[in-house]
Amino acid sequence: MNAELRQQLEAKAREIRKSIVRMTGAAGSGHPGGSLSAADIVTVLYFHELRLKPEEPDWDGRDRFVLSKGHAAPVLYAALAEKGYFPKEELLTLRKLGSRLQGHPDLKSLPGVEMSTGSLGQGLAVANGMALAGKLDNKDYRVYALLGDGECQEGMVWEAAMAAAHYRLDNLAAFVDHNGLQIDGPVTEVMSPEPLTDKWKAFGWHVLSIDGHDLKQILSAIEEAKKTKGRPTVIIAKTVKGKGVSFMEDQVGWHGVAPKPEQVTQALAELE
């Protein structure tokens, strides 16, 4: 990764994190912790990797991104706005009555949203369908899904994992945002999905483990996934919940609590 690209992506990640803080603060509700932990992954996807046409959201040749951990909608909304799918001013309508930006993504109301998600465990299965359709239609688009580590407690995730390997969906890559925390506490104490690496391997996936805040590692993992043939790739990304905001980092309480006005001010100052 050259210095110019790194600077561009770092700047985008900062903007996305600031938008997450602003919109959850304005809403007085939402999920900032897991949105902030996924910001670097989403930044690399939307501002380097995904083939998209914001002016033509339904372009048939586009790459697909499914936010399986749908409660982290703020990170998706921030990326879509930054990409030009809708005005950034609209971010401040998050969770407001009548807004297109509800607490979980709605594909019928907001351009750029590929799947309505929020019921955990469903996103990977939907991504499978998109990837299989691409294979059957001889399309060269790729499909990416972002799961939470707590979400990996869902049985449907493993059914989807088995199916993706069975159908040799090498046009599919899944990220696991492995921040170690979910709404009820540490993931390993609520219902441990470990060892994640061994489990995904046993289900027939090509498995990569990275630092989910290292832009170079994220880029390299995506490139390796694209070169891997005959099976899907999962990228287990070690992250920090609330990354970028000191008082939110690695604190389970910030899973689903919005910052107060003075906390928004402090967080934005830190992100600058």
DSSP the chain: --HHHHHHHHHHHHHHHHHHHHHHHHHT-S-HHHHHHTHHHHHHIIIII----TTSTT-TT--EEEESSGGGHHHHHHHHHHHTSS-GGGGGGTT-TT-S--SS--TTTSTT--S---STT-HHHHHHHHHHHHHHTT----EEEEEETGGGGSHHHHHHHHHHHHTT-TTEEEEEEE-SEETTEEHHHHH----HHHHHHHTT-EEEEEETT-HHHHHHHHHHHHH--SS-EEEEEE--TTTT-TTTTT-GGGSS-PPPHHHHHHHHHHH-
The share of the chain scoring above pLDDT 70, in percent, equals 100
Name the average pLDDT for the chain.
98
Checking if the pLDDT of 158 tops 90, the result is yes
Tokens of 259: 């910052």
Nearest alpha-carbon partner for 73 in 112, 13, 19, 31: 31
Six-digit token string for 79: 């990326």
pLDDT, tens digit, for every residue of 239-249? 999 999 999 99
pLDDT, mean of residues 205-220: 98
pLDDT at residue 267, as a whole number: 98
pLDDT at 165: 98
Q: How confident is the model at residue 259 (pLDDT cuts 50, 70, 90)?
A: very high
Per-residue model confidence (pLDDT) at position 105 = 98
pLDDT at 257 over 90: yes
Which whole number is the average pLDDT over 160-166? 98
- Label residue 7 left, alpha or beta by phi (over 0 means left) and psi (-120 to 50 means alpha): alpha
Q: Sketch out the chain's domains with CATH numbers.
A: 3-271 (3.40.50.970)
Provide, rounded to the nearest whole percent, the portion of the chain with pLDDT above 90. 99
Dist. CA 196–CA 236, nearest whole Å? 8
pLDDT for res 127: 98
Contact indicator for 39, 16 with CB cutoff of 8 Å? yes
Strands 143-148 and 233-238: unpaired
Average pLDDT (98-123) is: 97
Strands 233-238 and 172-178: parallel
Tokens of 154: 């869902």
Q: Kindly tell me if the per-residue pLDDT of 5 is higher than 90.
A: yes
Mean pLDDT (whole number) for 241-259: 97
Q: Which of 1, 119, 114 is nearest to 57 (CA)?
A: 114
State mean pLDDT over 213-229.
Answer: 98
Q: Which tens digits make up the pLDDT trace of 35-84?
A: 999 999 999 999 999 999 999 999 999 999 999 999 999 999 999 999 99
**Residue 170 pLDDT grade (very low, low, confident, very high; cuts 50, 70, 90):** very high
- Residue range 155-172: average pLDDT? 98
Tell me, what's the pLDDT at 1?
83
- Alpha-carbon distance of 131 to 140, in angstroms, equals 10
